[in-house]
Amino acid sequence: MTKQVTFEKIVGGGKALGYLDGKPCFAAGPLPGEVCDVVVKREKAGFAEANVARIVQPVAERSLPAEDHYLECSPWQNVVYDRQLELKRAMLAEAYSGPKLHLPVTAMTGAKKQIGYRNKLEFSLRKGEHVDLAFHARGSYEELVALPEGCRLGSEAINKAALAIAGRIEALKLAGYVETVTVRQSVANGGLLGVVALHQVPKRAWDDLGGLGLAGLVVTRVRHRDAHELVWHDGELQLEEKIAGLNLAYPYDGFFQTNPPAFEDALAGILAAIPKGANVVDLYGGVGSIGLAVAGRADSVVGVEVNLSSVEWSLGNADRNGIVNYTAVHAPAERLEVKVLRGADCVIVDPPRAGLHGRVIDSLLEAGPARIVYLSCNPATQVRDVQLLSEAYRAQGVDGFDFYPGTLHLESLVVLDRI
Sequence-ordered list of residues with C-beta below 8 angstroms from that of 303, at least 6 positions apart, any chain: 282, 285, 286, 288, 291, 292, 311, 314, 326, 327, 328, 329
Mean pLDDT over 55-80 rounds to: 93
- pLDDT on residue 223: 84
73 given a catalytic annotation = no
Sorted by sequence, the CB contacts under 8 Å of residue 204 that are 6+ apart come out as: none
pLDDT value of position 142: 86
pTM for the full model?
0.94
pLDDT for residue 263 is more than 90: yes
Distance CA 216, CA 191 (A): 9
Instruction: Tell me the backbone φ, ψ of residue 235, rounded to 5 degrees.
Output: 85, -145
- What integer is the mean pLDDT of 33-44? 94
Query: What number is the average pLDDT over the span 384-394?
Result: 97
Residue 1, pLDDT > 90, answer: no
Q: Under a CB-based contact definition with an 8 Å cutoff, are residues 165 and 183 in contact?
A: yes
Q: Provide the 8-state DSSP code for 390.
A: T
Of 318, 313, 311, 263, give the one whose Cα is nearest residue 296: 318
Report CA-CA distances (Å) from 143 to 124, 139, 140, 206. 11, 9, 6, 30
DSSP one-letter string for 302-332: EEEES-HHHHHHHHHHHHHTT--SEEEEES-
- Classified by CATH at the fold level, domain 105-112+255-418 comes out as Rossmann fold (3.40.50)
Return the CATH number of the domain spanning residue range 3-59. Answer: 2.40.50.140
Residues 383/95, Cβ–Cβ less than 8 Å: yes
pLDDT tens, residue by residue, 140-151: 888 999 999 999
Sequence ranges of the domains in the chain = 3-59, 105-112+255-418, 120-240
pLDDT band, very low/low/confident/very high, at 225 (cuts 50, 70, 90)? low
Nearest residue to 175 (alpha-carbon basis) of 241, 138, 123: 123
pLDDT recorded at residue 108: 98
pLDDT at residue 18 in the model? 97
In percent, how much of the chain has pLDDT > 70? 100
Q: Is the pLDDT of residue 100 over 90?
A: no
Instruction: Say yes or no to pLDDT of 208 above 90.
Output: yes
Position 224 pLDDT exceeds 80: no
What is the average per-residue pLDDT within 78-85?
95
Could you tell me which CATH class the domain 120-240 is placed in?
mainly beta
Write the CA distances from 67 to 60, 204, 228, 287, integer angstroms: 20, 38, 31, 34
Q: State yes or no: pLDDT of 345 exceeds 80.
A: yes
Q: Is 98 exposed, middle or buried (0-12, 13-18, 19+ CB in 10 A)?
A: exposed
Do 247 and 238 touch, CB atoms closer than 8 A? no
Summarize the confidence of residues 272-287 as an average pLDDT: 97
Q: Looking at residue 128, what is its pLDDT? A: 86
Identify the active-site residue in 25, 36, 73, 377.
377
One fold for 3-59 and 120-240: yes
Mean pLDDT, the chain, rounded, equals 95
